[in-house]
Amino acid sequence: MGKKLSNAEAKVDTGKEYSIEEALALVKETTFVKFDETVDLAINLGVDPKKSDQMVRGTVVLPYGTGKPVRVLVFAKGEKEKEAREAGADYVGAEDLVEKIQQGWLEFDKAVATPDLMGLVGKLGKVLGPRGLMPNPKLGTVTFDVAKAVKEIKAGKVEYKVEKAGIVHVPVGKVSFDRERLLENALAVLKSVAKAKPSTSKGKYLKRITVSSTMGPGVKVDVSRLKIS
């Protein structure tokens, strides 16, 4: 593994910033493992996440999805339960699911809830919150339009949130994707993050962008050459 990683790193000029197209091509070229790695964007932002008015958070639907199947759980009753099932939700329920989760079951990737059930779902805050699984109205996962929410998540909707160090990490697909699909996914993310710039953020907002695969070396992107306006 060490030699393979060294060979991969040798192909990347660490002192150079590449166009987003070149960076994605290098990520594909430098993969050396046998599994289909995730391609990740790391975006350093000119914000102070400690200040509530500089929190950057949002969602974006990747044009070509993440390349990973997503298991969606929906807290809903009655007609909304039926809608969720028809939209492709993997698990739908209310009290039964709350009880199951309280007993330690967490075999799902995203959770959606209708607003009327949030009082019930709130009991799971300490379990779902730290894992990023708690339904949130700001992210479109607390809604009566459960069919739309499920379909978007299944189609490749991803969430992002700036970390304490001022970095946003977002997956943009798999190494097996062709460059055009990776590029469109990456540009969709960058446009969304750029649009989410807080009005209180001063100076350079998109400070540094690095693209990498799960095991591969990071490739710096030349921010000045991006066309995302």
pLDDT digits (tens, 9 = 90+) for 157-195: 999 999 999 999 999 999 999 999 999 999 999 999 999
Can you name the residues that pair with 41 across neighbouring β-strands? 170, 211
Last residue of a domain, one of 132, 155, 178: 155
Task: Count how many domains the chain has.
Answer: 2
Domain annotation covers residue 10: no
Domain annotation covers residue 2: no
Domain annotation covers residue 221: yes
Query: Span 191-200, mean pLDDT?
Result: 93
Measured distance CA(78)–CA(80) in Å, rounded = 5
CATH assignment of the domain containing 201: 3.30.190.20
Same domain as 145, residue 91: yes
Same domain as 119, residue 78: yes
Same domain as 21, residue 43: yes
DSSP state string for 22-81 = HHHHHHHHT--SSS-PEEEEEEEES--TTSGGG--EEEEE-TT--SS---EEEE--HHHH
Please compute, for residue 42, the number of CA atoms within 13 A of its CA located in the half-sphere on the CB side.
13
Q: What is the pLDDT of residues 100-143, one digit of tens each?
A: 999 999 999 999 999 999 999 999 999 999 998 999 998 899 99
Q: What is the pLDDT of residues 54-108, one digit of tens each?
A: 999 999 999 999 998 899 999 999 999 999 999 999 999 999 999 999 999 999 9
Domain annotation covers residue 9: no
Count Cβ atoms within 10 A of the Cβ of residue 21 and give its class: 0-12 exposed, 13-18 middle, 19 or more buried.
middle
Same domain as 161, residue 151: no
Domain annotation covers residue 116: yes
Q: What is the pLDDT of residues 10-32, one digit of tens each?
A: 788 888 999 999 999 999 988 88
Domain annotation covers residue 86: yes
Output phi, psi for 197, to 5 deg: -60, 125
Domain annotation covers residue 5: no
To which H or E segment does residue 215 belong? Answer: none
Same domain as 146, residue 110: yes
Measured distance CA(18)–CA(26) in Å, rounded = 9
Same domain as 150, residue 122: yes
Last residue of a domain, one of 134, 155, 176: 155
Last residue of a domain, one of 107, 131, 155: 155
Same domain as 151, residue 79: yes
Same domain as 105, residue 62: no
Task: Tell me which long-range contacts 161-164 makes (C-beta under 8 A, separation of at least 24).
Answer: 161/55, 161/56, 161/57, 162/45, 162/47, 162/49, 162/55, 162/56, 162/57, 163/49, 164/49, 164/50
Residues making up the chain, counted from first to last = 229
One-letter amino acid of 160:
Y
pLDDT at 1 over 70: no
Same domain as 129, residue 30: no
pLDDT at 229 over 70: no
Domain that holds residue 103: 72-155
